[in-house]
Structure 1
Amino acid sequence: MDGLSGAASVIAVIDISAKIVSLCLQYSKAVRGAKDDIERVQGKVSDITHILEQIKQLLDSQDKTQLSATQGLFSSLTKCLKELENLQVELEPGKGRKTMSRIGFRALKWPFTSKQVDKIVSSLKGCEQTLSLALQVDQTTAVLSIDQKLDLAKLPIAHGASYDSHTEEHNARCLPNTRTALLQDITKWAQDKDSKSIFWLSGMATSGYHPYLRGL
């Protein structure tokens, strides 16, 4: 499934999901005895819509050739779309639409039993889990891809200042005006007979700081 057909399939499922959620809302207002079943179907379709919206965002923002999991969703999306289309057909007034428009939506009856709703929700949950897993895989791939773009080899370096460099091993002294206040503190400590035996300098790793020991 290429990027274009993948995005188009996702959009198609999102569109029909929105229609089903809208129909469920209308049934919820018109039907009293099946509110729990209506909310179960509506909730599961909304969950699928939420996942698909995230997949669409991922497809729109990333190099689609790297999203192997969501690129392989064509059969799952087709199955999900087919199930939602069948659900929409059952929920829509159909042939009695003109009559319904005259007497209002309150004349509708919820077309499913609780057992039928169990099967519908179970089937939609399978679609949701497949889509969710693919999304998680490709979201992880996208994060790793961002990390890999940070190529440390391309960062600027200070030649001669690498770890274990011997460039200045025979000229081991500070440059002029380097850490003058600190050097004064060390000199004062070294010359004061009453100062402690250890002068401890702390800093980040490889900064060269180490303890100085007084002769005892």
Structure 2
Amino acid sequence: MDPLSGAASVIAVVQVAGQVWSLCWKYYSDAKNAKSDIERLMGNVEALQNLFQRVQALAKGPGAAKLVASKELIERTALELEQEFKALRRCLEPSKQQSILKSFGRRLRWPLQKEDVDKIFQLLERHKTTLITAMNCDQMTAVVHLGNNLEES
């Protein structure tokens, strides 16, 4: 993974995650019975967005060349997550009919069932775990290399 393509993937995830979060907020302010599901989804989207922003900072930082183990995994996860966020964004975007009803003061109807939110939550957790594991792998690799260099000295 070259640094530019990896950074582009990470930036795309951050942007799409922000769009999903914004759509959740619109529903949150209108939804009656789905507030806990929306809060949970918003919290997880925000956590992944923050994680990807940190990954982006690492990918652009001086130690980017040392991210050996996680480069490919980060890029693959970013591409998968971007597609999943886009699908979620399409699901959450109000239909034309809902937009018209909203303009007449009607509330938006939350389009997801609790089971759908649970599945999305599990998927987001899996991606978060994958990223954290990849970053930990690179950290362990760096520690081993540092230890080997100290022993050689």
TM over 0.5: yes
After TM superposition, list the pairs within 5 Å mapping 1:2-151 onto structure 2.
2-73=2-73, 74-96=75-97, 99=100, 102-103=103-104, 107-141=107-141
Q: Which amino acid aligns with 1:39?
A: E
Give the structure, 1 or 2, with the largest relative contact order (CA under 8 Å, sep 6 or more). 2
The aligned amino acid for 1:85 is K
Alpha-carbon distance, 1:141 to partner:
4.8
- The 1:102/1:91 distance shift into structure 2, 3 A limit, reads same
Bigger fraction of residues in helix: 2
| Residues 13 and 81, structure 1, Cα contact 8 Å, conserved in 2 | yes
Return the letter of the residue paired with 1:30.
D
Matched AA of 2:136: Q
TM-score normalised to structure 1 length: 0.61
The 1:117–1:148 alpha-carbon spacing in structure 2 relative to 1, beyond 3 Å, is same
SS in structure 1 of the partner of residue 24 of structure 2: helix
5+ unaligned residues in a row in structure 1: which ranges? 154-216
Say whether the 8 Å CA contact 2:102–2:108 is kept in structure 1: no
Q: Is the 8 A contact 1:67 1:141 kept in 2?
A: no
Runs (4 or more) in structure 1 with deviation over 6 Å come to 143-150
Q: 1:110 to 1:64 in 2, by over 3 A?
A: same
- Following the alignment from structure 2 to structure 1, what is the Cα–Cα distance between the partners of residues 123 and 102? 32
Q: State the distance in 1 between where 2:79 and 2:113 align.
A: 26
Cα contact 1:23–1:91 (8 A) shared by 2: yes
The whole-number CA distance in structure 2 between the counterparts of 1:103 and 1:149 is 69
Residue matched to 1:210: none
Output the TM-score relative to the length of structure 2.
0.84
3-state DSSP class of the match of 2:38?
helix
